[in-house]
Amino acid sequence: MPHMKHDLLAALRPLLTAEASAEAHATGTEPADLEQAVWLRLLEHLATDGPPLDPQGWLRRAVRAESRRTRRTTRRERPYETDPADDGEHGPEHLVLTAARHRALRDAVHRLPGRCPRLLQALLSPEDLTYREIAGELGISQGSLGPERSRCLGCLRRLLAPEVAARQVRG
């Protein structure tokens, strides 16, 4: 059975590449992101229902469905004009403490390994970049951002845990 799945995936790869390339421009996304989403749908389908009866037809329909979903999501994405949590009535003590926390966070982000510093800087940017913009800036697939972000945040947590624990008042 695993060999049959591998054969199916290998047979569908050229068709998916062509279909995703044709649809990606209309969605404003990268073909690789669209491909990744459809591969995920296919693997979910294989796990629950087995191979589709008409794999090529299923693949074409899945590409178009993912393309529509991406267009809908893109239309709904809006950057925040202002920070909804900012009420503008902060005293000087609060501003100093906030600035110190932001400085500590930026310093910790710079100490992270690999591309984590660039990814987290983009996520923390005051420009409120979308995943598409961040993926383009970093040169990686938009679908890879979520897992990469989770890994980087885990590293950041481990890095900050000793510092946070050392600052807590013991009593």
Q: What does the pLDDT read at residue 56?
A: 93
Angle at 146 between CA 140 and CA 149, to 5 degrees: 85
Rounded distance between C-alpha atoms, residue 70 and residue 58, angstroms: 18
Domain spans, the chain = 2-76, 92-167
Tell me how far CA of residue 100 lies from CA of 83, 105, 171, in angstroms. 19, 9, 24
Give mean pLDDT in consecutive 10-residue pieces for the chain, a chain of 171 residues: 69 90 82 89 88 91 90 73 57 84 86 90 85 88 88 88 61 48
Q: Which CATH code is given to the segment(s) 92-167?
A: 1.10.10.10
Rounded distance between C-alpha atoms, residue 107 and residue 117, angstroms: 10
Q: What does the pLDDT read at residue 82?
A: 57
Q: What does the pLDDT read at residue 14?
A: 92
Tell me how far CA of residue 113 lies from CA of 22, 105, 107, 141, in angstroms. 37, 15, 13, 19
The answer to pTM > 0.75 is no
